[in-house]
Amino acid sequence: MSPPGRSAIIRHPSSLRGTMSQEHPRPASRLRFLAPLALTGLLAMPAAYLQAALALGLLPANRDWQAPAAGIPIYLDSNGVHTGLVLPMRNSQMDWSARFPPRQILRADRFAASPYIAIGWGSRTFFLQTQTWADLTPGKALAALASDDSVLHVEYQPQPSESANTRKMLLTPGQYAKLVDFISQSMPIDADGKPLWLKDYHYDGNDAFYQANGNYNPLMTCNQWTRNALNAAGVRTALWSPFGQALLWHAGS
């Protein structure tokens, strides 16, 4: 019996279940609620990335840099996706043929006397496992974009021709020294102070690959490495540039 002055309330088990389900949504209901939010977040990430790349690519680092009237010529070079730097093979400050000797390219007989050397940094997977676009698979792309080891790609080259994708810049000896130091810090060396050559990898008769420091990822791309190199030299460049277009724009401004 109920205590005096109080009415007995008896709830059916089914009504209890209904009350509990209203207070505590079932996991399936939560998933139906959260799934659209998660999808929206995933779709928003690429858009935010592109917006940040555009905004920070337009903003300059080393805003007040002025090219000297005379100096050491270097070139910013792009193939539309990847950028690198083309430097004099040798001058009074640096002999790149001593750092990356011609015996490590396939056709030293043909290219050893090249006056310029191109140096680029990038994903080990992209460089070594995708020598043509036909070799690129979604799995390789995702693995590289998530995080990947890095390599330096070095090419013996002729005198560059200026174009929309190849921009010439002049550096003072001090600026060039800073650029050389940045590139040198981008590669591990052996006990003899030599870069770690990846012997079995080439695209053509004039190139070679070497182990590099750092990891490739969406924030640190091949183009961002080029940007960091130019920034180290004090050249006007983008604040952040995972793509190459901003680098070319600043180099031409």
Task: Give the number of C-alpha atoms closer than 13 A to the C-alpha of residue 146, restricted to the C-beta side.
Answer: 6
Q: Which two tokens stand for residue 29?
A: 């209901």
Mean pLDDT of 38-64: 82
For 139, the token pair is: 């799995």
Residue with more model confidence, 30 or 8: 30
Mean pLDDT of 86-110: 98
CA–CA separation, 2 and 131 (whole Å): 85
Considering the chain, what percentage of its residues have pLDDT values greater than 90?
Answer: 71
Highest-confidence segment of 33-42, 139-148, 170-179? 170-179
Q: Which pLDDT value is given to residue 40?
A: 52
Per-residue pLDDT at 46: 83
6: pLDDT confidence band, cut at 50, 70 and 90?
very low
- Provide mean pLDDT across the span 123-136: 79
| Mean pLDDT on 93-115 | 98
Contact between 86 and 118 under an 8 Å Cβ cutoff? The reply is yes
Mean pLDDT calculated for residue range 8-23: 45
Q: What would the mean pLDDT of 233-250 be, rounded to a whole number? A: 97
